[in-house]
Amino acid sequence: MAWFRRTGRPLQQEQVIAFLLFLLSFVVVPSQQAEVIQGSVPLNSGTFEKVISKHRVVLVKFDETYPYGEKQEEFKKVATSAISQPDLLVAEIQVADYGEKDNLDLAEKYGVKKEDFPKYKLFIKDEFEPIDYHGNVKDANEIKRFVMKEARLWLGMPACLEEYDTMLKKFFQADYEEKDKMVAEAEKMAESLSEENKKTSAAIYVKTMKKIMEKGLEFLETEVKRVEKLKDGKVSDKKKEQLNDRLNILISFKLRLNDEL
**pLDDT tens digit sequence for 175-189:** 999 999 999 999 999
Whole-angstrom Cα distance, residue 150 to residue 143?
Answer: 11
Residues 130-134 have a mean pLDDT of: 97
Whole-angstrom Cα distance, residue 79 to residue 91?
Answer: 8
Residues 41-46 have a mean pLDDT of: 95
* Alpha-carbon distances of 189 from 119, 169, 202, rounded to whole Å: 41, 17, 8
- pLDDT bin (cut points 50, 70, 90) of residue 123 is very high
- Reply yes or no on whether the pLDDT at 88 is more than 60: yes
Domains of the chain plus CATH, in order, are 40-151 (3.40.30.10), 162-260 (1.20.1150.12)
Residues 205-213 have a mean pLDDT of: 96
What is the reported pLDDT for 3?
43
What is the reported pLDDT for 185?
95
Weakest-pLDDT range from 15-24, 36-45, 156-165: 15-24
- Alpha helix (H) residue ranges in 53-113: 70-81, 104-109
Percent of the chain with pLDDT over 90: 69
Give the residue from 172, 119, 173, 129 showing the smallest Cα distance to 150.
Answer: 129
Q: Say which amino acid occupies 135.
A: G
Phi, psi (deg, nearest 5) at residue 28: -105, 120
Percent of the chain with pLDDT over 70: 86
What is the reported pLDDT for 36?
82
More confident residue, 15 or 41: 41
What is the reported pLDDT for 30?
39
